[in-house]
């Protein structure tokens, strides 16, 4: 969602801000802006639409400065207008904000009574006026005023502030939204995401909840929630620049789909080398995993579907109860909380607000043990978890999650095997077979990618449709859900997924000759059941598009199209069957001419409720 970048240097920082904002574009936004301090004045440019348009306007107006902040906004309070875009300014103080200020109406009223006029409908503008109000009262300098103001705010924020009166520094604050400081040589940066500053520095300090900081050219000082100076560790970011660039691909989503054999290979590397050991999930994992008696998975969207798949593995292999719940539901429920159940959060970004809040809620209900499966090192959710397993997909830029999902599945499969081993439910032969299946997985995924030309032919038919149904059973039902989600979010075709056995309990009413029905039908114990469900569709004139593996023994016939997926890879079959549904969504969206990497109304990191 919204993104922040700020810089102070001897050089012109405007190109740094623009580059940083371009690297934040993937998070999803609908307007962008920068503000700079120059000759004791604050200048600002904002535009709705793309960063490139805002950058052209800044160039046309001759923006150059050695101190500035920038922002990409994803509208929450107030529509997509230039007046609502950040930075917001009050009397020479400019600021950018990620998050939501919940008591903004109360603050707005108070400031109105003090004579402040509002130019926007945002919750953010109150913060700029509040800072000015405190400065006017003589309540300290810019940092002191910010420290006072944040204590008057409820909600979530990452803030970066500059002032024409203090051209030698930026000040910033965080609560509930990520913010980091990038440390350069004689220049420093702030950003909501490391990708925004990685072109300038890899040395980063992650602010903690409640921290404020002052960032000057020659140094950085961080203060804790009690305004006491505090040291925060410097990390060296491992984000690679190539993962942030498109290379020969047309879209990041296409690139990321094709990166999956590598991404999965990296994620399983430690297991292939060292076997299924608890330490894959952190140094103290053995003690924790040995003592648990069940698993509760919390996640949103695609990550939730990874959790649904994992339930089959965990209950089937480890023989322990596993429940999976959408984080935004769990967080508001007085759920039964068994302290012996491990809470597993799954999140690509590691900063999804609902998942973070669900984790906090689980802890408040007495859940002692937590594990985060996450793709972004040092992000908020793993930092709040006892155990961590990082998937090694690399930066995922396309809004629609692809390689993050399949690497989450790889990590969750490893968790299930480790739990099964610890509970004495896996013999040496079974373990060797799991390892072999895992070893073959990147190859199986590559073979599935080779189906692309056949999927393109299907996508041309799908592009003309209004609706689609996806069916799967057992382990492949979550993959049907994932296929439907991918299709709807990037092609805007209405798509729903059902367990195939559920068809006759309602959705069959939707089936006619205009309804394409995608079926995931590998050769497993449910295949004959799936075939019966397919008959139900054909009998109503529905057109079937079946992904069936080499052993499924399916033939094409009228109204039944079949693409043969690679030879069955056992319990990991859902991973392989994910690839063709991703490709179907991608090529259908391409044929419909939608903005594949930045679908309308969606954001990559969902940092608001």
Active site residues: 2, 604
- Rule CB under 6 A: say whether 597 interacts with ligand F6R: no
C-alpha neighbours within 13 Å on the C-beta side of residue 596: 22
- Rule CB under 6 A: say whether 5 interacts with ligand F6R: no
Site for ligand F6R in 264-323 (CB under 6 A): 300-303
Contacting residue, 66, 348, 407, 573, with ligand F6R by CB under 6 A: 348
Give the Cα separation of 251 and 365 in Å (integer): 43
Q: Which residue has the tokens 């989450």?
A: 408
- Rule CB under 6 A: say whether 400 interacts with ligand F6R: yes
Nearest distance in Å: CB 478, ligand F6R = 13
- Rule CB under 6 A: say whether 193 interacts with ligand F6R: no
Stretch that binds ligand F6R, among 280-288, 349-357, 364-372, 584-592 (CB under 6 A): 349-357
- Rule CB under 6 A: say whether 511 interacts with ligand F6R: no
Nearest distance in Å: CB 303, ligand F6R = 4
Q: Give the C-alpha distances (Å, rounded to integers) separating 71 from 1, 29, 36, 567.
A: 11, 9, 12, 48
- Rule CB under 6 A: say whether 407 interacts with ligand F6R: no
Which residues share a beta bridge with 71? Answer: 4, 33
Q: Which is nearer to ligand F6R, 7 or 493 (CB)?
A: 493
Give the Cα separation of 436 and 407 in Å (integer): 17
- Rule CB under 6 A: say whether 373 interacts with ligand F6R: no
- Rule CB under 6 A: say whether 18 interacts with ligand F6R: no
Q: Which is nearer to ligand F6R, 172 or 400 (CB)?
A: 400
Torsion, Cα of 153, 157, 158, 161 (10° steps): -40
- Rule CB under 6 A: say whether 347 interacts with ligand F6R: yes
Nearest partner of 410 among 322, 504, 365, 346, judged by Cα: 346
Give the Cα separation of 172 and 97 in Å (integer): 10
Q: Which is nearer to ligand F6R, 159 or 606 (CB)?
A: 606
Q: Which is nearer to ligand F6R, 381 or 576 (CB)?
A: 381
Token digits of residue 19: 């580059």
* Number of other residues whose CB lies within 10 A of the CB of residue 326: 16
- Rule CB under 6 A: say whether 344 interacts with ligand F6R: no
Hey, what long-range contacts does 533-537 have (CB within 8 A, 24 or more apart)? 533/471, 533/473, 533/500, 533/501, 533/503, 534/500, 534/560, 536/503, 536/504, 536/508, 537/471, 537/503, 537/508, 537/511
Q: Which is nearer to ligand F6R, 26 or 281 (CB)?
A: 26
Nearest distance in Å: CB 385, ligand F6R = 13
Nearest partner of 182 among 199, 157, 163, judged by Cα: 199
- On whether the CB atoms of residues 388 and 371 are closer than 8 A, the answer is yes
- Rule CB under 6 A: say whether 355 interacts with ligand F6R: yes
Nearest partner of 215 among 183, 251, 178, 193, judged by Cα: 183
Nearest distance in Å: CB 603, ligand F6R = 8
Q: Which is nearer to ligand F6R, 135 or 388 (CB)?
A: 388
Q: Which is nearer to ligand F6R, 172 or 380 (CB)?
A: 380
User: Count of residues binding ligand F6R (CB under 6 A)?
Assistant: 14
Q: Which is nearer to ligand F6R, 533 or 605 (CB)?
A: 605
Contacting residue, 201, 296, 349, 414, with ligand F6R by CB under 6 A: 349
Nearest distance in Å: CB 489, ligand F6R = 6
Site for ligand F6R in 461-480 (CB under 6 A): none
DSSP sequence for 307-318: HHHHHHHIIIII
Nearest distance in Å: CB 346, ligand F6R = 7
- Rule CB under 6 A: say whether 489 interacts with ligand F6R: yes
Nearest partner of 33 among 53, 16, 12, 13, judged by Cα: 53
- Rule CB under 6 A: say whether 582 interacts with ligand F6R: no
- Rule CB under 6 A: say whether 135 interacts with ligand F6R: no
Contacting residue, 31, 163, 254, 401, with ligand F6R by CB under 6 A: 401
- Rule CB under 6 A: say whether 379 interacts with ligand F6R: no
Distance, first Cα to last Cα, the chain? 11
Which residues share a beta bridge with 220? Answer: 215
Phi, psi (rounded to 5 degrees) for 131: -60, -45
| Cis peptide, bond prior to residue 87, ω within 30 of zero | yes
Return all residues near 280 (Cβ < 8 A) that are at least 6 apart.
270, 271, 389, 414, 415, 418
Q: Which is nearer to ligand F6R, 328 or 573 (CB)?
A: 328
Q: Which is nearer to ligand F6R, 48 or 302 (CB)?
A: 302
Nearest distance in Å: CB 589, ligand F6R = 12
- With CB atoms as reference, the residue minimizing the distance to ligand F6R is 301
Give the Cα separation of 408 and 254 in Å (integer): 19
Contacting residue, 352, 372, 565, 573, with ligand F6R by CB under 6 A: 352
Torsion, Cα of 243, 244, 245, 250 (10° steps): 90
Nearest partner of 480 among 308, 286, 363, judged by Cα: 308
Q: Which is nearer to ligand F6R, 400 or 455 (CB)?
A: 400
- Rule CB under 6 A: say whether 328 interacts with ligand F6R: no
Give the Cα separation of 55 and 33 in Å (integer): 8
Give the Cα separation of 576 and 583 in Å (integer): 12
Which positions lie near ligand F6R, rule CB under 6 A? 300-303, 347-349, 352, 355, 400-401, 485, 489, 606
């Amino acid at each position: 969602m919204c993104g922040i970048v700020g810089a102070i240097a001897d050089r012109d920082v405007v190109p740094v801000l623009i580059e940083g904002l371009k690297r934040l574009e993937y998070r999803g936004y609908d307007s962008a802006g920068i503000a700079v301090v120059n000759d004791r004045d604050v200048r600002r440019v904002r535009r709705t639409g793309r960063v490139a348009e805002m950058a052209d306007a800044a160039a046309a107006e001759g923006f150059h400065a050695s101190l500035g902040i920038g922002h990409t906004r994803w509208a929450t309070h107030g529509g997509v207008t230039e007046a609502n875009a950040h930075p917001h300014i009050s009397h020479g103080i400019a600021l950018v904000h990620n998050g939501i200020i919940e008591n903004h109406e109360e603050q707005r009223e108070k400031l109105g009574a003090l004579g402040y006029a509002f130019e926007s409908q945002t919750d953010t503008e109150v913060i700029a006026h509040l800072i000015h109000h405190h400065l006017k009262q003589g309540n300290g300098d810019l940092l002191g005023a910010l420290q006072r103001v944040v204590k008057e705010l409820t909600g979530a924020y990452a803030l970066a502030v500059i002032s024409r009166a203090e051209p030698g520094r930026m000040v910033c604050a965080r609560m509930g939204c990520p913010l980091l400081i990038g440390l350069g040589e004689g220049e420093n940066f702030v950003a909501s995401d490391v990708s925004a500053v990685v072109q300038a520095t890899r040395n980063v300090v992650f602010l903690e909840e409640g921290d404020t900081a002052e960032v000057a050219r020659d140094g950085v000082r961080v203060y804790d929630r009690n305004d006491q100076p505090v040291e925060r560790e410097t990390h060296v970011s491992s984000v690679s620049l190539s993962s942030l660039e498109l290379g020969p691909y047309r879209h990041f989503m296409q690139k990321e789909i094709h990166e999956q054999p590598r991404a999965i290979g990296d994620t399983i590397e430690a297991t292939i080398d060292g076997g299924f050991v608890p330490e894959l999930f952190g140094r103290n994992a053995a003690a924790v995993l040995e003592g648990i008696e069940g698993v509760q998975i919390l996640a949103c969207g695609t990550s939730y579907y990874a959790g649904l798949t994992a339930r089959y593995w965990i209950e089937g292999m480890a023989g322990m109860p596993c429940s999976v719940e959408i984080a935004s539901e769990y967080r508001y429920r007085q759920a039964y909380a068994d302290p012996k159940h491990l809470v597993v959060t799954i999140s690509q970004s590691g900063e999804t607000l609902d998942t973070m809040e669900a984790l906090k809620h689980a802890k408040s209900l007495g859940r002692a043990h937590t594990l985060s499966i996450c793709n972004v090192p040092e992000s908020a959710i793993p930092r709040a978890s006892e155990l961590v397993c990082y998937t090694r997909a690399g930066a995922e830029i396309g809004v629609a999650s692809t390689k993050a999902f399949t690497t989450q599945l790889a990590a969750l499969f490893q968790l299930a095997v480790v739990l099964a081993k610890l509970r004495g439910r896996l013999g040496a032969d079974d373990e060797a077979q799991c390892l072999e299946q895992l070893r073959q997985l990147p190859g199986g995924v590559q073979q599935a990618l080779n189906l692309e030309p056949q999927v393109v032919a299907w996508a041309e038919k799908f592009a003309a449709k209004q609706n689609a149904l996806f069916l799967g059973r057992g382990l492949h039902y979550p993959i049907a859900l994932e296929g439907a989600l991918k299709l709807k979010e990037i092609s805007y075709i209405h798509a729903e997924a059902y367990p195939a056995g559920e068809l006759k309990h309602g959705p069959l009413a939707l089936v006619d000759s205009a309804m394409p029905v995608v079926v995931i039908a590998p050769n497993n114990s449910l295949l004959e059941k799936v075939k019966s469900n397919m008959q139900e569709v054909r009998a109503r004139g529905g057109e079937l598009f079946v992904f069936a593996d080499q052993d499924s023994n399916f033939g094409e016939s009228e109204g039944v199209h079949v693409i043969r997926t690679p030879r069955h890879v056992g319990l990991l079959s859902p991973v392989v069957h994910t690839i063709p549904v991703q490709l179907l969504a991608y090529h259908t969206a391409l044929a419909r001419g939608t903005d594949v990497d930045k679908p309308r109304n969606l954001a990559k990191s969902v940092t608001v409720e």
